[in-house]
Amino acid sequence: MKHENRGRLTKDGIRIYDASDFPGMHAAGRLAAQILDDIAQHVFVGQTTEAIDTKITEMVEAAGATSATIGYKGYQHASCISVNHVVCHGIPGAKTLKDGDILNIDVTVIVDGWYGDTSRMYVAGKLPRKAERLIEVTHDSLMKGIEMVKPGNTFGDIGHAIQSYVESHRMSVVRDFCGHGLGRVFHAPPNVLHYGRPGTGAVLEEGMFFTIEPMVNLGRPETKTLADDWTAVTRDKSLSAQFEHSVGVTSDGVDIFTLSPGGMFHPTY
């Protein structure tokens, strides 16, 4: 069987993987999460995001794995690093981190053909109070979304859990980017929206693999993409945060493939 075509597709075009496919996803997810643990010591005031990305490239190579992002649609780096009002797809570069900058580092690796995709927030120097609140709410909104993952619930249930939590804290959910199916490929159906209404959208089934990766803004939800065709920023220049896990649906709940081996997923505890 061609390995991209294993399992079956639902009527919504979502691939259903087999119980024997979970270990491969765990291995890929674990490596991506380990890299995010190990990169923490390289985030500090005066550091460039390019230097952080170079470390990530070295870590992927040292593990005998492949970066999913190098060469993806012309992208040239092993990570996306999104600082302050950058929402996602920040390109690592020569600018140095300043005290109080917050940043998302997003890494996707391929291990034995399986994709592991995860991102978290970091801070250079001292974490400003309002950034701390944003990071906290964004992290917790991802976890509220993950709590909805079980057979019989819908993707709308996930989106609604995230959106209602974020908006109850008077912050906003970005609509312009979403999570995605993954497995033997980087991006597959469905689009995993981080907003929505309960009971709407495709029904979750055991064996679905996808990411949940809410982006949350302190101000308005609108984004724009810069002239480099990658960097997405908040239109109103407000701070933005994001966390991402890759998960699988089990018979009675969820399996998180990208848990931090060192318990470091959340930056402030």
The residues binding ligand MF3 (CB under 6 A) are 69, 72-73, 75, 80, 89, 106, 108, 117, 211, 213, 230, 244
Q: Bridge partners of 256?
A: 247
The DSSP output letter for 152 is T
Strands (E), the chain: 8-9, 15-16, 66-67, 79-83, 86-88, 102-111, 114-123, 172-173, 179-181, 188-192, 209-212, 215-217, 223-225, 232-234, 240-242, 245-249, 254-256
Q: Pick what 101 binds: Co ion, ligand MF3, none; C-beta below 5 to 8 Å, kind-dependent.
A: none
What is the rounded CA–CA span in Å between residue 148 and residue 195? Answer: 13
Minimal distance in Å, beta carbon 211 to ligand MF3? 6
Please state the separation of Cα 191 from the chain's center in Å.
Answer: 13
Nearer to ligand MF3, 44 or 186 (CB): 186
Nearer to Co ion, 49 or 119 (CB): 119
Q: Pick what 75 binds: Co ion, ligand MF3, none; C-beta below 5 to 8 Å, kind-dependent.
A: ligand MF3
Closest by alpha carbon to 50, among 104, 81, 94? 94
Q: Pick what 80 binds: ligand MF3, Co ion, none; C-beta below 5 to 8 Å, kind-dependent.
A: ligand MF3
Residue 210, helix vs strand vs coil: strand
Minimal distance in Å, beta carbon 180 to Co ion? 6
What is the rounded CA–CA span in Å between residue 210 and residue 188? Answer: 8
Nearer to ligand MF3, 108 or 138 (CB): 108
Contact between residue 114 and residue 220 where contact means Cβ atoms under 8 Å apart: no
Minimal distance in Å, beta carbon 198 to Co ion? 24
Is beta strand 114-123 parallel, antiparallel or unpaired with respect to 102-111? antiparallel
What is the rounded CA–CA span in Å between residue 73 and residue 100? Answer: 32
Nearer to ligand MF3, 109 or 135 (CB): 109
Minimal distance in Å, beta carbon 20 to ligand MF3? 25
Minimal distance in Å, beta carbon 154 to Co ion? 20
Q: Pick what 69 binds: Co ion, ligand MF3, none; C-beta below 5 to 8 Å, kind-dependent.
A: ligand MF3
Minimal distance in Å, beta carbon 32 to Co ion? 9
Nearer to Co ion, 214 or 221 (CB): 214
Nearer to ligand MF3, 20 or 73 (CB): 73
